[in-house]
Structures are given as structure tokens and as C-alpha cells.
Amino acid sequence: MQALAHFLQPSQHIRSGPICPPRRPNRPMRRIAFLRNTVSAWAWPSRGGLIVLERLTPVDLDFLGLGPLRLLIERDPDQDAEDCFCQQLLHLGAKWFDSVERCQFVGGVAGEDERCVDDLVAGVEEPLTTMERQWVCVGITSNEGLWVAEYDTPLPFVKDKHNLEPHDSAKVLLARTMDERCSILKGMGAKFYETIEQYDGMACLRAWEKKTTGEIGPFKQIPYILPSAE
């Protein structure tokens, strides 16, 4: 019984990071990724890499034209349409990873996966960039202004200890509308931009205009896979 009880104890290294699903997702073309305690939206840009919007909420679903009862959807086979969706995610504060593998590594570090953290500390993997580390949340006003909150996170090798994610940042998840999200972000000290063209932060909001390569190397191309080809 003691052996069984030990076996049933939860692991200290259960991955709970908010970024990517396990290393072997059931459907590599899936639009929505369900994790243990959060949901993310994925998009595959024509330039390569993977765009991920973490902590998906009903406010985001409404902005993206998605419904909570229809989330088992997949990547658009029309690449032009997929690129449009990519830009929508970026405007909401999504991250643009070099590859699925890099996304999974960053997610592993965020979830305190022992292997990922060891690889980071030992220099086996490249250090996390500012974009990969940041906590980002965006609120879009009715006249297309933006409230943008950007903070470093307590991941290994903190870059900006004077601008760490607030302890109550999760309150933005309680917003029922985009207007409420904007009000919450304003109260958190977010910066306001009248237009997205004015944005000058470190997140990927304007990455579509100027990002041509990955954070630590070239983008990895991820072609569309027909269901019958799996």
C-alpha cells in the first residue's frame, strides 16, 4: 500500500505552463489547444513559426468571431485566411515562436518541467527572449485604441525585476467585455496607444509588419496537413 500511495502522489514536476500543450498533441493542426487549466489559440503564419495567444477568454473569442461551443476547429487550409487570423491574434498580444518545439520548450520552463529547466540552466537551450518571457494583455477600445500591459515574469534569469507581472494580473480574466478589460488594464498601469501604429513595446503586436526571422534562428515552416494524410 505504501508503494501504491507513493505512486499516486502528484509529481512535483507536473507541467502547468500557460503556453503550449504536451509534446505530442493529438492534432497538430488544431486551432484551440486545451491544457489542464487554460486554453490557447494557435495560428500558423505563411512565414513560418507558430503564433500562440495564451489564456484565451470569452472576450478574446468574441473579438476573434469564435464561439465557446465550437472550439474543435482546425487551421484554415486557405493560407491567406490563416494569415489574417494570425494578425488578429498578434493584435491581442499573442507570441510568435520560432517553431512548435520552441513553444513547447518555453511552455515547459513556465510549467517548471525539470528537463526543460535543466536544459535552460545548462545552456543546452537558448535563453528565453524578452518576447518569450513576457506576460502581455491587450484591450482594444471601440475606436481601435489599445491598452497594453507588458511585464516580465518570474521565470529563470529575470530580465526586468522592476517590472514583474503583478500578483493580481489574473483579474483581467474576469472581464466580461472588451471595455471591462480596458478598464482593468488601465487600473493596472497599462499604456495607452491611440492606434496600433503608435505601439513601441517589446511584444508582437506589430510583428507582422517587420518580423522576418525567429527569435533565436530562422522560422520553421509548418505546412498544412490534410486530415487524411495523418
Residue range 58-73, pLDDT digits in tens: 999 999 999 888 887 8
Look at residue 52 and give its three-state secondary structure.
strand
Give residue-wise pLDDT tens across range 116-157.
999 999 999 999 999 999 999 999 999 999 999 999 988 777
25 Cβ contact list (under 8 Å, min separation 6):
33
CA–CA gap between residue 46 and residue 83 (Å, rounded): 7
Give the model's pLDDT for residue 30.
Answer: 85
Find out whether 169 and 135 touch, Cβ atoms under 8 Å: yes
Confidence of residue 181 (pLDDT cuts 50, 70, 90): very high
